[in-house]
Amino acid sequence: MIALQDRKLALWYIGVAYIAFLIGTLMGLLQVFIRNDKLQLPAWLDYYQILTAHGVLLALIYTTFFIFAFFVTGMSKSIGTFGPKVRLVSWIGFWVTLLGTVLATAMIVAGEASVLYTFYAPLMASGWYYVGLALFVVGTWISSFALIGHYRVWRKNNKGELSPLFAFMTITTIILWLIACLGVVATVLFQYIPWAFGWTDTINVELSRSLFWFFGHPLVYFWLLPAYIAWYVIVPKILGVKVFSDSLARLAFVLFILFSIPVGFHHQLTEPGISNFWKFLQVVLTFMVIIPSLMTAFTMFANFEISGRKKGATGLFGWFKKLPWKDVRFTSIFIAMAFFIPGGAGGIINASFQLNEVVHNTLWIVGHFHITVGTPVAMTFMGLTFWLIPYLTGRKFTKSMQILAFVQIITWSIGMLLMSTAQHILGLLGAPRRTAFSNYNNHPSAMEWFDGILTSHVTMAVGGSILFLSAMILIYIVAMSMFLSPKALKVEDQVEFPMAESDKTHTPKWLENWWIWIGIAFALIIIAYAIPLSSMIMHAPPGSEGFKTW
């Protein structure tokens, strides 16, 4: 087991993550009923306020806090206990991140920030909302630097050696995050905050949107990569095999540093102010970032097949039956991976230049991120939660908890399948996202959306209700594992941190030369962004004043 002080830090992160999860999923439940016209909110509460809270709490807060819990635990496990300086800086990072979270959430609750988590100008929230977001990012940076410091100590003590795979992947994710945040920090610090506090009168809208999406797309990879770490490093251990290929795993991760950032324009394909050339260039770069995911798909199936064949499976698909289905740590993550197949395929469609016109800002997109971040990422985190909390608290993951965990992931899968399928189809029919109930004056097209069995808001509501039930079961499991489950006094009751062995003997050393990857990443960013961003600044129209339209 890792050091007590490191466990405490990780547990605080998880605690905040699941408080955010609890409130965020409740907001999700309210939404599906409002969209179904079955629920009228009291006058002091607005649909878009709830939607903002749902997005911020789940997509930003739950993910980020859980990711740091996972990183702290895994780094302590793979490269050793944190030194006093690393620990102090980590705690400072935690509290700053939490302060930012509380400030931003308070502004949402106060109705001063119903601007959704994309906070597009010139919708103008209270300046304190943006200060909260800035503190949140700065807090994660402090925590990131603590982890980098910890890693550097290890490198210094192990000269010439490649770091353990978990540490390598953590550092990759952190580098990605640090570079990605430059965009959002630039726009929040230099555009939104001076404007929202009235120090400047107007804002350059198109520039703020582009800087947001410079951050917005790698943000999704910041969620996805920790899930990939679990897929690459933890799943093989549960399957009883080694990491399929240490070098290919590392290569896939560095490709994400290169290609997940210079691609933000694919979120802006249908808007003015960016010429077709630059949009298409970033579409091409977006397609490059699909390649490491294709590599990952192969590695995952290879793990399954090698494990199954070791257990005596024969034939083309015999290995499938030999997978450890009764182990919820595995089954949860397997389902998460399965959801990522249509999720990833949908992502390719979204990024396909003019095809984006079919799906942009429709419910398809909502369906898309519920089967990318909402299940592949979130359910991987659930699959980790089941053992991570008992591992940290030294409690048992009891038989009854394991059964409950199965109920939880199965209900989540069913709920998500119903809801996201409905959303995908409704989106293709044209139903807009981020929109409260409206029948558009009984327009026949809008009425059609509500008709079918799958293509209805009813299916979405049923799906959403099942999801909420599942979320509450998870909260129960979390609370039990945190505070109430019996202590694991005997060694055989203790929960392990499954971390697969990885054979580094054939892995080239240059993979861990970070300056190469950071250098190429910045070169690609300059190629993709320098000219269009500077033209946005030089040919800017008169700026926009702030509006509070809620």
Partner 1 sequence: MHLHKFEKVWLIFGIISLIVFLSIVGVTAFSHDHHPSGGMDTIDPEKVDQTAPFDNPGVTQIDDDTYQVAIVAMAFGYTAPELRVPAGKEIIFKVTSKDVVHSFTIDDTKVNMMVVPGQITTRAYTFEKPGKYLILCNEYCGTGHHFMFTEIEVY
Partner 2 sequence: MSKNNEHDGLDLRGTLASVMVVGVIIVVMWVVVYMMYLGR
Residues forming the active site: 217, 221, 368-370, 433-434
Please count the residues of the chain. 550
Q: Does 534 bind partner 1 (CB under 8 A)?
A: no
What CA–CA distance (Å, rounded) separates 322 from 365?
36
Task: Select the span of 155-163, 267-275, 396-404, 405-413 touching partner 1 (CB under 8 A).
Answer: 267-275
Site for partner 2 in 116-145 (CB under 8 A): none
Q: How far is the CB of 99 from partner 1 (least distance, A)?
A: 27
Contact code string over 331-360 relative to partner 2, x by CB under 8 A = ----------xx-xxx-xx--x-xx-xxx-
Could you give the CA distance from residue 466 to residue 412 in angstroms, rounded to a whole number? 7
Q: How far apart are CA 401 and CA 203, in angstroms?
A: 52
Measured CA to CA in angstroms, residue 89 lies from 19, 93, 94 at distances of 23, 6, 9
DSSP-based three-state secondary structure for 206: helix
Query: In the bound complex, what is the minimum distance in angstroms from residue 403's beta carbon to partner 2?
Result: 29
352 binds partner 1 (CB under 8 A): yes
Q: Is 260 in the site for partner 1 (CB under 8 A)?
A: no
Instruction: Please say which residue, 365 or 495, places its beta carbon nearer to partner 1.
Output: 365
CA 463 – CA 417 distance, rounded (Å): 7
Q: Which of residues 122-181 bind partner 1 (CB under 8 A)?
A: 122-123
240 Cβ contact list (under 8 Å, min separation 6): 307, 310
- C-beta of residue 209 within 8 angstroms of C-beta of residue 189: no
Task: Sort 106 into a burial class: Cβ within 10 Å, 0-12 / 13-18 / 19+.
Answer: middle
End-to-end Cα spacing for the chain: 51
Least Cβ distance, residue 377 to partner 1 (angstroms)? 22
User: Cβ 345 to partner 2, closest distance in Å?
Assistant: 4
Picked from partner 1, partner 2, none, the partner binding residue 182 (CB below 5 to 8 A depending on kind) is none
**For 544, which DSSP code?**
B
CB 361 within 8 A of CB 433: yes
Give the one residue of 400, 445, 513, 534 binding partner 1; rule: CB under 8 A. 445
Q: Which is nearer to partner 1, 81 or 118 (CB)?
A: 118
**Which residue has tokens 């339209």?**
549
Q: What is the DSSP letter of 203?
A: B
Distance CA 156, CA 151 (A): 9
Cβ distance 234 to 165 under 8 Å? no
Q: Could you say which residues in the range 59-118 bind partner 1, by CB under 8 A?
A: 114, 116
Among 40, 441, 505, 549, binds partner 2 (CB under 8 A): 505
- How far, CA to CA in Å, does 70 sit from each of 65, 164, 170, 287, 418? 9, 15, 10, 29, 30
| 318 contributes a contact to partner 1 by CB under 8 A | no
**Is the distance from CB of 118 to CB of 187 less than 8 angstroms?**
no
Q: Is position 298 an interface residue for partner 2 (rule: CB under 8 A)? A: yes
Binding mask 221-250 vs partner 2 (x if CB under 8 A, - otherwise)? ------------------------x-----
Is residue 376 within the footprint of partner 2 (CB under 8 A)?
no
CB of 242 to partner 2, least distance (A): 9
How far apart CA 145 and CA 138 sit, in angstroms, is: 10
Site string for partner 1, 368-407 (x = CB under 8 A): ----------------------------------------
Which partner, partner 1, partner 2, none, binds residue 274 by CB below 5 to 8 Å per kind? partner 1
Q: Which is nearer to partner 1, 297 or 469 (CB)?
A: 297
Report the alpha-carbon distance of residue 76 to residue 3 in Å, rounded. Answer: 8
164 lines the binding site for partner 2 (CB under 8 A): no
251 binds partner 2 (CB under 8 A): no
Per CB under 8 A, residues contacting partner 2 are 245, 294, 297-298, 301-302, 304-306, 308-309, 315-320, 341-342, 344-346, 348-349, 352, 354-355, 357-359, 428, 503, 505-506, 508
